[in-house]
Amino acid sequence: MKKVLDKGYVRLVDKMGSDLSIVNAARVSFDKESYALNEKDESLIAYLIREGHTSPFRHANMQFEIYSPLMMARQHWKHVVGSDHTMDSWNESSRRYVTEVPEFYIPSPAEWRGAPEDSKQGSGENLPESKGKNWTEAIQLHAELSENLYNQAMTDGVCAEQARLFLPAYGLYIRYYWSASLQSVLHFLDQRLDLHAQKEIQVYAEAVEVYVVQEFPAVYEAWRKAHEPNAK
């Protein structure tokens, strides 16, 4: 399990396939098969990535359990909505049914960022910690007040699916399963490791990246080299 932010995590639940699965999915076109990964196989993987031949990467899959603030989960969800034929599946906990103690993402005083000077979206430089401390205390107080109202509503007989209206949504942690083809996982890394992505989702992508390195080292190395500056 890889810890992320203050309370979040990414956990690899299961996986199907290996670097060799990608190679053999590609070699079947010529009625060939490899039984142990070699240099020619690694060159083939690099060729597939370089030339954008993505279908072999759909023959390997990864399943993750992720615990993240809702604002990050909804950014991640865009990859599932747009995945089309890359085979993604998504299931998440629902506060219609789950009434466990809510948890919220509370940025530390050093984590608050200012607005960018040259854009209407994203963020700029970190704010002074003295200013960030005020906002950390404010959001902590807001979360505590909201949780108290949530609990009071349910104690008074309000159903969970309506009581959850009192919880501040964007910072609320949710737990979900994400299953995806290796092609889709690499696309997620393409988009969310980018320095222009929101910082909080970058750290989730970094945690996913660790598992890709662990489970598909040859694919990851070829993918990494293809993304180096001046790569051809």
Same domain, residue pair 91 and 190: yes
Q: Is the dihedral of CA 177, 183, 185, 190 positive or negative?
A: negative
List per-residue pLDDT tens for the chain, 232 residues long.
999 999 999 999 999 999 999 999 999 988 889 999 999 999 999 999 999 999 999 999 999 999 999 999 998 988 776 655 556 788 888 888 878 889 999 999 999 999 887 776 778 889 999 999 999 999 999 999 999 999 999 999 999 999 999 999 999 999 999 999 999 999 999 999 998 899 999 999 999 999 999 999 999 999 999 988 765 5
Please check whether residue 102 lies inside any domain of the structure. no
Q: Is 11 a catalytic residue?
A: no
Pick the catalytic residue: 27, 95, 192, 224? 192
Q: So what's the pLDDT on residue 228?
A: 80
Q: So what's the pLDDT on residue 231?
A: 59
Measured distance CA(114)–CA(136) in Å, rounded: 14
Q: So what's the pLDDT on residue 25?
A: 96
Q: In what order do the strands lie in the sheet with 8-16?
A: 2-4, 8-16, 61-69, 173-181, 88-92
Same domain, residue pair 208 and 127: no
Same domain, residue pair 119 and 208: no
Same domain, residue pair 180 and 83: yes
Structural domains of the chain, count: 2
Same domain, residue pair 78 and 8: yes
Same domain, residue pair 133 and 35: no
Please check whether residue 103 lies inside any domain of the structure. no
Q: Which CATH number characterizes residue 35's domain?
A: 3.30.1360.170
Q: Per residue in 66-98, is it b (16+ CB within 10 Å) or e — as a string?
A: bbbbbebbebbbebbeebeebebebeeeebeee
Beta strands in the chain (DSSP E): 2-4, 8-16, 61-69, 88-92, 173-181
Same domain, residue pair 32 and 73: yes
Measured distance CA(219)–CA(130) in Å, rounded: 45
Please check whether residue 12 lies inside any domain of the structure. yes
Same domain, residue pair 75 and 135: no
Please check whether residue 104 lies inside any domain of the structure. no
Same domain, residue pair 122 and 74: no
**What residue numbers bound the domain in which 150 lies?**
109-166
Q: So what's the pLDDT on residue 227?
A: 85
Same domain, residue pair 115 and 91: no
Q: So what's the pLDDT on residue 53?
A: 92
Same domain, residue pair 140 and 183: no
Please check whether residue 221 lies inside any domain of the structure. yes
Listed residues 120, 144, 166: the one ending a domain: 166
CA distances from residue 81 to 71, 74, 77, 150, 194 in whole angstroms, order as listed: 16, 10, 6, 31, 20
Measured distance CA(156)–CA(163) in Å, rounded: 10
Measured distance CA(27)–CA(188) in Å, rounded: 26
Q: So what's the pLDDT on residue 208?
A: 98
Phi, psi dihedrals of residue 43, rounded to the nearest 5° = -65, -35
What's the pTM?
Answer: 0.91
